[in-house]
A and B are shown apart, each in its own frame.
Chain A
Amino acid sequence: MNDTKPDALPRLVPLLDVRSICRTYDDGTVRALKDVSFSVFRGEYVAIMGPSGSGKSTLLNLLGALDHPCRGEICFEGQSLATLRDLDRFRARTIGFVFQSFHLLPTLTALENVQIPMFEGTLNRRARVQKAEELLCLVGLSHRLKHVPQKLSVGERQRVAIARALANDPLVLLADEPTGNLDSRAGAGVLDLFDQLHRERGVTLIVITHGAEVAARAERTIWIRDGQIDLLQMSGGVVTRCAV
C-alpha cells in the first residue's frame, strides 16, 4: 500500500476487490462465507443485506481488515491485504468504521472523540482540533462539541461516530447496522447524512444492514444468504442473481 493516497482512480478500476473469499470457524465446521466475490468502486454507495447469520458481519470484519479470510483475497487499490504487515496503520488511513453501538469513549467530549483516530496521523494539536470541529459541523453537531456521549442523544452519538470515522479521510466508510440502535427519526437523519457525504464528498460507503429502508438509499445492494452472495440489486430495482 502506498503511503500517499493516489489521485482519483478511474472508476473502472475497483477500489475494493473481493476475490473468492471463504471464512470458516470452529476448525471448519462453521462456514461463515463461501466463495464470495464482488467489487466496489470509488465513490459507490453499496449496501450488503441479509438475514441474521448470513455472514454480513463476518464480511464486514474481513473488509475492515479485522479478520483474515481462510481462502481468497481482498485487495484495496490492487494491493492484497495479505501482503500488508501493518494492518493497524492500514485501517487508520483507509477504513472509517461506524459501529451499531457507536463505541464512543465515554470520558471524552464529542470533539475529543473525533480526534482519537488522528493521533496516528501527522496533524498537530491545533490542526486536529480544527479538523474535528469541521467534521462535527459537517454532521450537524457544531453546537455539541464539548458534550460527552452521555449528554448526547443516540442519534447525535452516531453522528459523532460518523465524524470520527471520517477523521483520517478514509478511502471507504464501513458501517455496521448504523441505524440498528436508533429510532426511525434518528435513523433517517443518519441515512440523510450518508446521502450527503456520498453526494457532496464522494465518500465510498459500504453499509451492512438488514433494513430495506437502509438498502434503498444505496446505489447497489448485495444480498447475502448462508455465506454466499445471492443476488445483486441496483438502485431502480434492476436485479441480477449470482455473485459479481
Chain B
Amino acid sequence: MLFLEVIAKNLMRRKTRTLLTIAGLAAAVATSTALLSSAWSFASSSRDYYSSRGVDVVVCRAGVSERITSSLSAALAGRLRALPDVAWAEGSLTEMVSLGERALIGIPMHGVDPSGPTADKLEVTSGRKLAAGDHRAVLLGSALAEGLKHRPGETLQIEGTAFHIAGVFQTADAIEANTIIAPLTDVQDLMGRPGQVSEFQIRAVPAANDTSISRLCREIESLHDASGRSLGFKALPMRKFVDSDTETRLTWAMAWGTSVVAVGLSLVAMLNTMLMSVLERTKEFGLLRAIGWTRGRVMRMVLGESLVIGLCASLGGAAGAGLFVRALGTWSYTRNFVQPTLSAEAVVLGIALTIFAGVAGSLYPAYRGATCVPLTALHFE
C-alpha cells in the first residue's frame, strides 16, 4: 500500500463531502480561469491587432479615459509623417455602430484609408479588398459575416444607412473577426465626425529600438500648432498603449478582483471541510501517533488530502472554464469581446491559485491533527 492510497481512501470515506468540496473549488477555479483568460485574450487581442499591422506607436487625444472618445484632426497625419523616425502614419476612426436589420448594437467599425497599410494587410478571403474611391463599401470580419449570414455583394444596414459588402476578411483574433472595416471618410460621414480620427497608428523606421521609440513618443507629445499651443497628443509605444487602455485595465481588475474573492472562498471551504474531517478522526489521529507516526507524517497526510482535492478541482475547473469561455464566445452578447479559447497562462494560474487555496486552507487542520495528544485523542468521544 502506498501512502497516497491512505490519502485517497480517507477522501473516499465521505464521498459526498469530498465531491461537494471539489465542486465548490472547481466552480471557483472555473470562474477565475475564465475571467483571467478573457482578460488575457482581450489584452492580447488588442496587441495582436496592432502588431499584425506593424504598429510601433499609437497616438490619441491626451487626457481621454475612453480611447473611443478620442478625437484628433485627420490632417495632423502629415505632421507625424514628417518626423524623422516615422516610416508611416495612418489615422483611423473607431465607432461602435448598430446593424439595423438584426438590431445588433455595439459592433466596432474601423474607418481606415483603403489604400493605407491597415487595409492592405487584411487577409480578404472572399470578395475584394477596399479600393481608393470606394464609397459605402465595407469589409466584414469572418465571424461577423457568418453570424449575420451575409456574403460579398449583399447590402448591410449600418446606422440606418445601406452599405455594400465588398468582401470578408479572415483573422485569427476572435474579437477582430467581429468588426467592420470601412473607408475613413464613410465612417466620418456616418457618425458626423468630419475630418476626425480616434487615433494615429505609427510605424517606426526599421532601425528603431525601444530608446528611439520612447524618444519619438516624447517628440510627438511636444508637437504644437503655429501659435505655440500643444496639439494635445498622447503617444505611447504600442504595448504600453494596450496595457494602459481603460477597458483592458477594467477587465484585468474585474478578473483579479473576482479571482481573489473566489480564492478566499475556496480557502474557507477547504478549511471547513478539513477541520470537520480532522475532528471526526480525532481518535484515528491519536492511534496513528500512538503507534509511532510522526507529526510530520500526519501533517503530510492531511495536506495530501487537500492537495488531491485541489488537483481534482483544478482539472474540473479548467474543463468548466473551457466550456464557459466557449459559451461566452458564441453568445451573441459577448462573442465580440471574448475569445472562445482558454489561454494557457490563465489555466496555469487558475490551477496554482486553487492548489494554493486548498493547501492554505488545510494548514490549521493539519497542524491540529498532527499535534493532538495521543492519549487524549484515543479517549475522544
Contacts and interface: CB of A to CB of B under 8 A. Distances in A.
Interface in B1-26: 1-3, 5-6, 9-10, 12-13
Given A99-B378, A105-B284, A129-B1, A91 B10 contact: no
Interface stretch (B32-40, B92-100, B143-151, B286-294): B286-294
B2 A97 contact: no
B322 interface: no
B294 A116 contact: no
Given A125-B1, A125-B2, A128-B1, A107 B292 contact: no
A105 B13 CA distance: 11
A108 B6 contact: yes
A88 B9 contact: no
Contacts of B284: 103, 105
B291 to A, nearest CB: 5
A129 B2 CA distance: 10
A67 B375 contact: yes
B297 A66 contact: no
B292 A93 contact: yes
A107 B294 CA distance: 21
A120 B378 contact: no
Interface residues of A, number: 32
A86 B297 CA distance: 14
Interface string B273-290: 000000000011001111
Given A103-B287, A119-B3, A129-B1, A89 B292 contact: yes
Contact of B13 (A88, A106, A129): A106
A67 B292 CA distance: 14
A233 interface: no
Given A64-B290, A91-B292, A107 B13 contact: yes
A97 B1 contact: no
A88 B283 contact: no
A107 B293 contact: no
B21 to A, nearest CB: 17
Contacts of A119: 3, 293, 297
A120 B375 contact: no
Contacts of A108: 1, 6, 9
A145 to B, nearest CB: 12
A49 interface: no
Contact of A103 (B283, B297, B375): B283
A86 to B, nearest CB: 8
Interface in B344-381: 374-375, 378
B295 interface: yes
A112 interface: yes
Nearest to B13: A107
Report, as a range, how many residues of chain B touch the other chain.
20 to 34
A225 B9 CA distance: 44
Task: Report which residue of B1, B9, B13 has the largest number of chain A beta carbons within 10 angstroms of its beta carbon.
Answer: B1
B248 to A, nearest CB: 50
Contact of B291 (A67, A86, A117, A125): A117
A56 B356 CA distance: 47
Contacts of B9: 107-108, 112
Interface in A34-87: 61, 64, 66-67, 86
A151 to B, nearest CB: 15
A164 interface: yes
Q: Is the interface of A mostly helix, strand, loop or mixed?
A: helix
Given A61-B375, A115-B1, A88 B293 contact: yes
Interface string A196-228: 000000000000000000000000000000000
A107 B375 CA distance: 22
Contacts of B289: 88
Nearest to A167: B291
A86 B9 CA distance: 28
Nearest to A129: B1
A128 B293 CA distance: 16
Nearest to A105: B284
Contacts of A103: 283-284, 287, 378
A114 to B, nearest CB: 10
Contacts of A115: 1
A183 to B, nearest CB: 24
Interface in A180-203: none
A179 interface: no
A102 to B, nearest CB: 10
Nearest to B292: A92
Contacts of A61: 375
Contact of A116 (B12, B13, B291, B375): B291
The residue in B3, B5, B9 that gathers the most chain A C-beta atoms within 10 A of its C-beta is: B9
A117 B9 CA distance: 17
A106 B12 CA distance: 12
B38 to A, nearest CB: 42
Which among A67, A91, A95, A119 has the highest number of chain B CB atoms within 10 Å? A119
Contacts of B1: 108, 111-112, 115, 125, 128-129
Given A107-B9, A108-B9, 4 more contacts: A91-B291, A116-B6, A119-B293, A120-B292
8 contacts: A89-B294, A91-B291, A105-B284, A107-B12, A108-B9, A120-B292, A120-B293, A128-B1
Interface of B: 1-3, 5-6, 9-10, 12-13, 283-284, 287-295, 297, 374-375, 378
Query: Which 3 residue pairs of A and B lie closest in terms of their CB atoms, listed nearest first?
Result: A92-B292, A107-B9, A91-B292
